Chain A
Amino acid sequence: MKQLDFTVRSNDKLNDQNHLLKVVPSDNEQLPEMLPGQFVQILVENAQHTFLRRPISINNIVPERNEIWLLVQSVGEGTQKLCEMAVGGRLNMLVPLGNSFTIPSNPGSYLLVGGGVGTAPLLFLGKKLHERGIACDFLLGGASEKNILQRSDFTAYGTLYCTTEDGSLGEKGYVTHHPVLQHKKYDFIFTCGPKPMMVAVARYAHERGIVCEASLENLMACGFGACLCCVEKTTRGNLCACTEGPVFDINELTWLD
């Protein structure tokens, strides 16, 4: 873990709510190693009501450019300020935090299921799998076409399937209704998104005996294990989502009880 200042290299508006920030360490320091599923804690400056840092997933790492990508959805003052960051602006971040998705060494078929801004960590995961020569399918869901973000980035690393609630892109409905889930057999499913979506995906995986990991978005104060605020109830007791997670094996969670 490190506390570093970053400079915003670019800030692209992807739709009315989502921005993609690309940031680099301000003093050109080499980025520490980061794994898919890990996140950062960002200090939001000049916000009136934002006191604590904001946890944001690592959306991608581009080692050649020493760059971290952050996909931010504006839902409140903190994330709005982040979306408004000017190019050249500074962000103080704790990096990297949390555990990561398990990248199994055995070959198999992989499905990465994301909803809303929960697609953020799946891009980096897909990229890492791709680098290992593992082909994977992405299944992304959103309210409408404009909510399915970074489509060309995803297709660079695997096959992309989509669902939208209004039917404007891909299949109409929720991710768990997508026909690919009936037609293809997967060995590993990794998911991140709204809790009801992840619970449905977990149920699907559990019923078929598929290994499944979910990345949680519990409320966090510190993000590095000091406050014990972010706990998730698991088969091993109350665990911190920021250090024992955010990624959990679904069999450890109490969601399906």
Chain B
Amino acid sequence: MARLEVTIGSMLLRNPVMTASGTFGYGTEYTDFMDLGRLGGIFVKGTTLEPRQGNDYPRMAETPSGMLNAVGLHNKGVDYFVEQIYPVIKDYDTRMIVNVSGSTVEDYVACTEKLVGLEKIPAIELNISCPNVKEGGMAFGTTCASAAQVTRAVRRVYPGTLIVKLSPNVTDIAEIARSVEAEGADSVSLVNTFLGMAIDAESRRPKLSTVTGGLSGPCIKPIALRMVWQVFHAVNIPVIGMGGICNWEDAIEFILAGATAIQVGTCNFIDPSVSVKIVEGIEAYLQRHNIASVTDLVGAMETA
């Protein structure tokens, strides 16, 4: 049997397949469709210090092989998470990781502090890359100085595994990755959505209430893959890759490019059990190629 376990920070995952924040709710939405215990982990929806109503409708536009969203961090706040959601999801037989978002450094710190004592939350993912909020969000992920600043502040209060989620809307993602690694991030995850837009030609109006939004799905995969490869060569911490992963071949591509683990996002909407199929596909691939452990494949793309 090939080994599927991988380690991110101090967190051991049963396999490298996880689900991306904002596309998997709190996991509860998917229990009718699959056994969550088959997954390496679940990144729950973006959580902020205060409740947020998100953006106005319409928040979604379909594009060729993808979608634009402008959800805008709609969530009930971290207190609601701790009191109402955590007791329900804490017994899921998989790793539960909270995706933390904020408008100010203080927001990130205060939100994180409320998660510190939760024993079934082994890691947090700092979202410094949301393109759909006016202040904060992506702004933190677009310069090395601000990305470093927020990572440093959270690292001070958070002893668990700290994953920083990078924005692809930058000129050089590798330098941002290095700057958060230097501040003690245990891992970087990438990519968040690409800033995009769509217009209804008939009405001449934008298709999103916010005009611009975040592009995700298979249409971003080649760019995401390139970024994962660049970051893998720039840092010494594990990289978690995502962007349009819809099947095991996509997942293997990300792993070969340097991802220790992957997240499945938008494709969960199309096939809610796709992530389990990806686990099975990776397992079969390893067996077929006689590979002892999935970690042997990380960054193993052959260019010679």
Report the bound CA distance from A16 to B259 in whole Å: 51
Contacts A52-B67, A228-B71, A230-B60 given: A43-B270 contact, CB under 8 Å?
yes
Q: Are B60 and A227 closer than 8 Å at their CB atoms? A: yes
A51 CB to nearest chain B CB (Å): 6
Q: Are A227 and B71 closer than 8 Å at their CB atoms? A: yes
Residue A13, interface by CB 8 Å: no
Q: Are B33 and A3 closer than 8 Å at their CB atoms? A: yes
Q: Are B217 and A228 closer than 8 Å at their CB atoms? A: no
Contacts A51-B67, A227-B71, A228-B54 given: A3-B273 contact, CB under 8 Å?
yes
B262 CB to nearest chain A CB (Å): 18
Residue B140, interface by CB 8 Å: no
Provide the main secondary structure of the chain B interface: loop
| Mask: chain A, 184-215; 1 = CB below 8 Å from B; 0 = not | 00000000000000000000000000000000
Contacts A43-B270, A52-B67, A226-B268 given: A231-B62 contact, CB under 8 Å?
no
Report the bound CA distance from A238 to B73 in whole Å: 12
Report the bound CA distance from A222 to B217 in whole Å: 13
Residue B249, interface by CB 8 Å: no
Q: Which B residues are in CB contact (< 8 Å) with A3? A: 33, 271-273
Contacts A221-B69, A224-B29, A229-B69 given: A52-B270 contact, CB under 8 Å?
yes
Q: Which A residues are in CB contact (< 8 Å) with B29? A: 222, 224-226
Q: Are A224 and B272 closer than 8 Å at their CB atoms? A: yes
Q: Are B32 and A222 closer than 8 Å at their CB atoms? A: no
Q: Which B residues are in CB contact (< 8 Å) with A107? A: none
Report the bound CA distance from A54 to B99 in whole Å: 29
Interface residue count on the A side (C-beta < 8 Å): 28
Contacts A2-B32, A226-B24, A226-B25 given: A238-B53 contact, CB under 8 Å?
yes
Residue B10, interface by CB 8 Å: no
Residue A237, interface by CB 8 Å: yes
Q: Are A228 and B272 closer than 8 Å at their CB atoms? A: no
A239 CB to nearest chain B CB (Å): 10
Residue B58, interface by CB 8 Å: yes
Q: Are B69 and A227 closer than 8 Å at their CB atoms? A: yes
Q: Are B57 and A231 closer than 8 Å at their CB atoms? A: yes
Partner of A222, one of B61, B218, B268: B268
Contacts A49-B64, A237-B53 given: A222-B269 contact, CB under 8 Å?
yes
Chain A contacts to B: CB under 8 angstroms: 1-3, 43, 49-53, 94, 218-233, 237-238
Chain B contacts to A: CB under 8 angstroms: 22-25, 29-30, 32-33, 45, 53-54, 56-67, 69, 71, 74, 217-218, 266, 268-273
Could you jot down 13 A-B contacts, CB within 8 Å?
A1-B32, A3-B33, A49-B64, A51-B62, A51-B66, A94-B33, A226-B30, A227-B60, A228-B45, A229-B71, A230-B57, A232-B57, A233-B56
14 other contacts beyond A3-B271, A221-B269, A238-B53, with CB at 8 A cut-off?
A1-B32, A2-B32, A3-B272, A51-B67, A52-B270, A53-B269, A219-B58, A220-B60, A221-B69, A222-B29, A225-B29, A226-B272, A233-B57, A238-B57
